[in-house]
Amino acid sequence: MNLNKPLYATNYGAAYVGDSLELLDSVKSDSIDLVMTSPPFALLREKSYGNVEQEAYIDWLFAFCQKVYRVLSPQGSFVIDLGGAYQSKRPVRSLYNYRILIKLCDELDFRLAEEFFWHNPSKLPSPIEWVNKRKIRAKDSVNTVWWLSKTDYPKANVSNVLVPYSERMKKLHENPEKYYKPKERPSGHDIGTGFATNNGGAIPSNLLQIPNTESNSRYIQLCKTVGIAAHPARFPQKLPMFFINFLTDPGDTVLDIFAGSNTTGAAAEALQRSWIAFEQNPSYLAASAFRFLAPNESIEVASALFTKLLAMHEIINIS
């Protein structure tokens, strides 16, 4: 495979079937502004999308990250979403997501610009043995999301991801003298009247609360209607949208090396960023094209598109 033959392309991006370890070699050095991805996690049970055993996971993922470092621009960012896991047959957490972070910073000279935590309030209680049956552990509903960079000052603008003010803050803006009196806090910080300035929104925290509820999305509906399996481990589109808005400008290039159902590409397309998607499973990637169909597109068109994309992949393999 090479980057001259995408499985499909849109106004802003292109999706490629293949192993990212090979496809990354065709990407120019220092050319990608953001790599946003969620690799298969180091889980104990084998999943349909292909996950690696915990013992081998860190070295397996590190090989991809070495190539990511090469293609990332000097002011670019590498954002990697990693879910937690338990050790085999023990109610003790694995440290794999922290070990890979330390390895990337120590051995590849990545910088941890900031750690984020994605809280999925809709996540079901798991693992069953420790949470549901024995009831000795709380529900695991937070993923670690590492924001890494090649320099201390990657491109970033928090003004692009401001969140709505609280009702209390809105009242303060309407009448600062009534709701706030400048004073020194116990921490020693002296907060003056500038605290009451309306900047269009509040600075977000590094705890991102985003429910992962895509059960009624157009992508899921088309997969069900066409009779194919949707990717079982999708993250919500709001997650990549946050980082794309935060860390890139329109026209920048975003890459997902474990694209799955190409949520990252769809987010980049909506935000007018160029995007590249790599996924080794042709069926998952062919179905991801549903994300780019017009809302009123017919089921027949979606089904024909999926069939055509798989046939194209077969021809490419044969040749």
Residue 293's CB is within 10 A of a number of other CB atoms, namely 15
Two tokens, residue 68: 């990511």
Distance set, CA 108 to CA 21, 101, 149, 254 (Å): 17, 10, 11, 21
Q: Which two tokens stand for residue 137?
A: 């552990």
Measured at the CA of 99, the angle between CA 257 and CA 145, to 5 degrees, comes to 50
Quick check: bond before 127 cis, omega within 30?
yes
HSE (CB half, 13 Å, CA atoms) of 229?
10
Distance between first and last Cα of the chain: 10
Please confirm, yes or no, whether 38 is among the known catalytic residues.
Answer: yes
Kindly report whether the global pTM for this prediction surpasses the value 0.95: no
- Cβ atoms within 10 Å of 209's Cβ, excluding its own: 13
Q: Which amino acid is at 37?
A: T
Q: Cα–Cα distance between 305 and 49 in angstroms, integer?
A: 22
**Tens-level pLDDT at each residue, the chain (319 residues):** 457 789 999 999 999 999 999 999 999 999 999 999 999 877 545 545 445 566 688 999 999 999 999 999 999 999 999 988 898 889 999 999 999 999 999 999 999 999 999 999 988 888 899 999 999 999 999 999 999 999 999 999 999 999 988 767 776 676 665 556 656 566 555 555 555 677 778 899 999 999 987 767 889 988 888 888 888 888 899 999 999 999 999 999 999 999 999 999 999 999 999 999 999 999 999 999 999 998 888 788 888 888 888 787 653 332 2
Which residue among 38, 73, 149, 274 is the active-site one?
Answer: 38
Q: Which of 6, 20, 73, 81 is catalytic?
A: 81
The alpha carbon of residue 290 and the mean position of all alpha carbons in its chain are separated, in whole angstroms, by 19
Catalytic status, residue 33: no
Alpha-carbon torsion 24, 25, 26, 30, what sign? positive
Give CA separation, 62 vs 65, 68, 96, in Å.
5, 10, 12
DSSP class of 7: S
Looking at residue 230, what is its pLDDT?
A: 87
- Sheet hosting strand 253-256, strand order edge to edge: 8-9, 13-17, 274-279, 253-256, 32-37, 72-82, 142-149, 111-119, 207-209
* DSSP-derived 3-state class of residue 286: helix
> Is CATH 3.40.50.150 the right assignment for the domain spanning 8-163+204-318?
yes
Radius of gyration of the chain (CA): 22
Tokens of 234: 């999708």
Residue 6 CA, distance from chain mean position: 21
- Maximum Cα–Cα distance for the chain, whole Å? 74
Active site residue 39: yes
Distance (Å, rounded) from C-alpha 23 to C-alpha 5? 11
Q: Tell which residue, 274, 289, 312, has the closest CA to residue 11.
A: 274
- What is the domain partition of the chain in residue ranges? 8-163+204-318, 164-202
Do residues 160 and 181 make contact, with C-beta atoms less than 8 angstroms apart? Answer: no
Q: Which of 6, 20, 33, 39 is catalytic?
A: 39
Total length of the chain? 319
